[in-house]
Amino acid sequence: MSGIKVYEIGYMLEDIRVRFLKDIKLNIFDINIDAKQDDTNIIPRWLANILREMKIVEINKQDIGVELIRALSREKISGNEQLTQLKPDFYIKIRSSFKDYEGDKNKLSIYLNDLIDARLWKILNLARSTPLTVELEQKLTIEEKILFNAIYKAINEFKSVLKDVKE
């Protein structure tokens, strides 16, 4: 199983706060829910998504637009050489929240592409000169770690081929 899939599963297992729109009694996989309309509770994200589709709960949404704009601003302020830290599941969260986003999705896509472009450039430059350090690894998402390692490996293989040509 890929590292990304493991993080996606972990993300779906996280607890989130919901507000119940209807009374419900439920016992599933050792999760017991006995809630009345307008009660709030914390349940696993996977279950909240199912209950939301059934119009039983409302998920307390975080504004991913604000989170994305903050990440983009931090990335721009940090300059061309310095990566800012993103949570390992940042893109998983964005991808999961995008379909329910109630704002301007085109604008959100532009912000996301700008962030990805800025980070890709920095990752490429770092992978040219240094292996993945603990400090750098803490700043990358799971997808970016996989990308960094692939770029680093490809660059070193390319350099070794050129080294053989020079000799």
The answer to whether the predicted template modeling score (pTM) of the entire model surpasses 0.85 is no
The pLDDT value given to residue 66 = 87
Best CATH choice for the domain 3-59 from the list 3.40.5.50, 3.40.50.300, 3.40.50.2300, 3.90.1150.10: 3.40.5.50
C-beta of residue 41 within 8 angstroms of C-beta of residue 1: no
Q: Which residues of the chain have pLDDT under 70?
A: 1-2, 164-167
The pLDDT value given to residue 166 = 58
- Just give the CATH number of 64-166: 1.20.58.1030
C-beta of residue 69 within 8 angstroms of C-beta of residue 111: yes
Domain residue extents for the chain: 3-59, 64-166
State how far the Cα of 159 lies from the Cα of 142, in Å rounded to an integer. 26
The pLDDT value given to residue 165 = 62
C-beta of residue 84 within 8 angstroms of C-beta of residue 74: yes
Backbone angles phi, psi at 78, to 5 degrees: -70, -15
The pLDDT value given to residue 9 = 86
Q: Is 39 buried (19+), middle (13-18) or exposed (0-12) by CB count in 10 A? A: middle
